[in-house]
Structure 1
Amino acid sequence: MLHTSWRCAVRRGSDTSTIEFAPALIAAQDFYPGEATVESGGIVGLLNDASVDLGTNAETQTLRRAVAHPDLRIIFTVTETFHRIVASRAAGISSLADLRGKRGGSIASTSAACFIDKHLGTVGLTDADYTVVSEALGRP
């Protein structure tokens, strides 16, 4: 439960292009009793802009930056999600092994990309057997 006497303005950086952003936005709009803004930036925004109070990302981003910034702390898990690999039957894909030689969209250097490698490895595929394309999602 939120402590209603805590009403300071809060700036939160989040990865606004991912589904994990939704709970942060809902909390800011519907539950935080003070002024709260959620803007693009996530952990990187927190580290690069002193006016950002909180950063939200998957734990992968925190772990990647914790080496250079050992004072980072995960203080609350906003959402937990399952990662899914979704494929088209029309492409002849019905199992993980069928992804050999295929291209798929994901976001590089994220927990989603790590899970793709992990799950495809369970059927003997390596990153040389498939191509992950971030541009397919409109991301560089």
Structure 2
Amino acid sequence: MKYDKPLVACVIGAASTITGEVVTRALILLGFGKYSVYQLISLTITINRPTEIIGLIVNCIIGGFIGIAFYYALNIIGRDYLVVKSTAVSLFFWFLSEMIFTATIEGRFIDLRPISDYYVHLLGATAYGTTVGMLFKTYLFNLSIPSKCK
């Protein structure tokens, strides 16, 4: 069976957002932070009304894009230490998205979030990156024989 690896990378990136949501939702239920990752990302669309469904849609689009970008970046950075590299890429995109969100929406359209919210989303991004790395390793690459991405 022949399958399209970039498409699989996109699906892995989109599906892995669920792990980040589970982690952030659990931390919210434990009393840390204010918004889960889906709620926070939905604010980029709704401005001041967090909703999980819109957050799921937007986050899956972004997660799929990150999955494809990471897949093609592996041609340059190599496939070794996949989980570490995918976590680092996830944290980079977390940093970038927090900077954009803080500069454009937070404080203008919604109240400033507590500092614990940043840590909650940092842990969610770490969970996302770890999941992407493990799923790439399992479903895209047979790491016992080193070869180039195709």
TM-score normalised to the size of structure 2?
0.23
More strand by share: 1
More helix by share: 2
TM-score normalised to the size of structure 1?
0.24
Name which one, 1 or 2, has greater alpha-carbon Rg: 1
